[in-house]
């Protein structure tokens, strides 16, 4: 396991900064959760999409500032930024091939960002709360599982909807609601774990 700075042995100023950064991360992710839930309304998809991109960039900035605590945070920050920027640039892709390549690249960066961030949090609290450290690692696995299941469920809804001749607006509404709900549940767990992490190292 990578060595990390032990908050207990840090100077008071460093400890306060760590607590403040984790608090800022909590606030940004709380806004992201609100955006995810608002995304359940099809009429707000575009608005919430840009809100989530802004919170994604905010997350990247904070994670980069956490870099001295654990190098994993810096890797997560870079991958997070690339993922968000790549997702935004996908709108300007000249063709479907480029569009899909950009989306795949952004998706891979997003997964790496989650892995590095969650494992960074886990290593940060490992010596103080092994159970919480395990929760962070498990949450990453759940992120992957839920993302996969959301895709499968969405595809199933679309196929059933087409067979039943359900209108496109209804299919879109249901699909978006499924993805937003699943993402919202995971973000709630994320916020709970992040608060406990901040309490431990603050």
**Domain range list for the chain:** 11-201
Whole-number pLDDT of residue 64: 96
Instruction: List the one residue out of 139, 130, 132 whose CA is nearest residue 183.
Output: 139
CA distance 112 to 107: 9
Instruction: List the one residue out of 47, 31, 24 whose CA is nearest residue 184.
Output: 31
Provide, rounded to the nearest whole percent, the portion of the chain with pLDDT above 70. 78
What is the per-residue pLDDT across 6-33, written as a single tens digit (0 to 9) for each? 443 344 444 448 999 999 999 999 999 9
Instruction: List the one residue out of 25, 53, 54, 51 whose CA is nearest residue 38.
Output: 51
Whole-number pLDDT of residue 42: 66
Provide, rounded to the nearest whole percent, the portion of the chain with pLDDT above 90. 48
Whole-number pLDDT of residue 95: 75
> In the chain, where do the E strands start and end?
none
| Single pTM value for the model | 0.82
Mean pLDDT, residues 38-47 taken together: 71
CA distance 115 to 191: 16
Mean pLDDT of the chain: 83
What is the per-residue pLDDT across 105-161, written as a single tens digit (0 to 9) for each? 888 999 999 999 999 999 999 999 999 999 999 999 999 988 887 777 767 766 766
φ and ψ of 165, to 5 deg: 60, 45
């Amino acid at each position: 396991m990578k060595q990390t700075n032990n908050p207990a042995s840090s100077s008071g100023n460093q400890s306060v900064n760590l607590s403040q950064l984790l608090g800022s991360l909590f606030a940004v992710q709380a806004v992201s959760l609100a955006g995810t839930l608002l995304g359940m309304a099809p009429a707000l998809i575009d608005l919430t999409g840009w809100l989530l991109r802004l919170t994604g960039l905010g997350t990247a900035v904070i994670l980069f500032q956490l870099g001295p605590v654990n190098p994993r945070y810096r890797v997560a920050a870079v991958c997070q930024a690339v993922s968000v920027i790549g997702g935004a640039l996908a709108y300007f892709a000249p063709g479907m091939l480029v569009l899909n390549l950009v989306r795949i690249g952004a998706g891979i960066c997003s997964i790496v960002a989650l892995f590095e961030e969650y494992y960074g949090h886990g290593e940060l609290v490992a010596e103080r709360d092994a159970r919480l450290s395990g929760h962070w690692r498990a949450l990453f696995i759940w992120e992957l599982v839920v993302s996969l299941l959301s895709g499968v469920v969405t595809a199933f809804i679309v196929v059933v909807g087409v067979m039943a001749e359900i209108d496109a607006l209804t299919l879109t509404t249901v699909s978006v609601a499924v993805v937003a709900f699943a993402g919202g549940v995971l973000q709630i767990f994320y916020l709970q774990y992040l608060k406990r992490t901040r309490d431990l190292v603050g």
